[in-house]
Amino acid sequence: MAFSNTYNVTNPGSGVSNREDLTDVLTILAPEETPVLSLANKSKATATFNEWTVDVLATPSATGIQEGADISSFTDKFTGRARLGNYIQLFRRDFMVSQLQQAVESVGPAKIAEAEAKGVREIKRDMEKVLCGDQDRSVEDGSSARYVSRGLGLWTSNTPGSDVPSGFRTPTASIHGTGTLTENAFNGLIASIYTQTGTVDKLSLVAGTVLRRTVSGFARSDNNTNENVYHVNQMATDKEITLSVNTYDSDFGIITVINGNPACLPDSSRGYIINPDYIGVAELMSLGSTRVPDLGGGQRGFVDAAAGLQVFSPLAHGKITVVA
């Protein structure tokens, strides 16, 4: 029996005149958080190589001075001062929308303004990935090499580069790179940072997904029995139980726990213990958008920025690369 239907979409056919039902909703599934970029202090760079100086205090002395003793020699108070530096990296995302695409009705919509806005969102993730990376710095050579900014992963290592004097490198005790990350091991990292800086009240842990779950697990494990024990500090009338850890109250201060961007961290076990006072981003070119002439094919432009990571003192930070 012949009848008109919706499934005969061959041309000609009874279904070819049916309108498409396309909901005016565009979904983009991608993590956009940039916690390291957000934590860093922003400053203006004036060259492609940005530098800063670091210094340390002398070891405390318990030796007294004899009464009447004269000073026979003097101390150079700046002999331990050093200069650290990093290159500025150029970031760019281009966009173009044809004149026909700009004219038609589209979901989203898919116009030049939306293309430009998407470029801004993408370049922020590019910058976050560089800040969180393990890459070393490099200089442009006019050929294949380009300016690269050293990432936090290398700054917080025992071998960041010969340009970082040994006395200013992140101590081994502030890095967890082998074995299971227990709560005692985590506290050891915090204690090491406290030993170097004297304060950890402003520390933030930017954690990958596996590391974040591990830290949240500290609240439900019994170190004596190795069994899961739920420690809940909530009123009995509450109908919710919170098992995630947003702040960790250690013996040396409170650490804020922040989800890292899984698309930007080297892996899901990676985490950085950051003191925001000692990390920055030097901007040679602030993030901005430029439109270029339409040559007939459609509107176009690019979003760009030039910036580099500043680690004012590698001693003030810690790193976790292995959870188990």
User: 3-state class of 142 per DSSP?
Assistant: coil
Residues in the chain: 324
Q: CA 218 to CA 229: how far, in whole Å?
A: 10
Q: What does DSSP assign to residue 138?
A: B
User: Which candidate, 136, 125, 137, 158, places its Cα nearest to that of 265?
Assistant: 125
pLDDT band at 71 (very low <50, low <70, confident <90, very high): very high
- Output the six-digit token pair for 175: 């890095």
- pLDDT score for 202: 85
Q: Residue 237: beta bridge partners?
A: none
Q: How would you classify the pairing of strands 298-311 and 271-274? A: unpaired
pLDDT band at 12 (very low <50, low <70, confident <90, very high): confident
What pLDDT digit, counting tens, does each position of 264-285 carry? 999 999 999 999 999 999 999 9
Q: What is the dihedral of CA 250, 191, 34, 152, to 10 degrees?
A: -170
E-strand stretches of the chain: 41-44, 49-54, 82-87, 89-98, 175-176, 204-207, 247-250, 253-259, 271-274, 279-292, 298-311, 318-320
User: 3-state class of 290 per DSSP?
Assistant: strand
What pLDDT digit, counting tens, does each position of 159-213 carry? 999 999 999 999 999 999 999 999 999 999 999 999 998 877 789 999 999 999 9
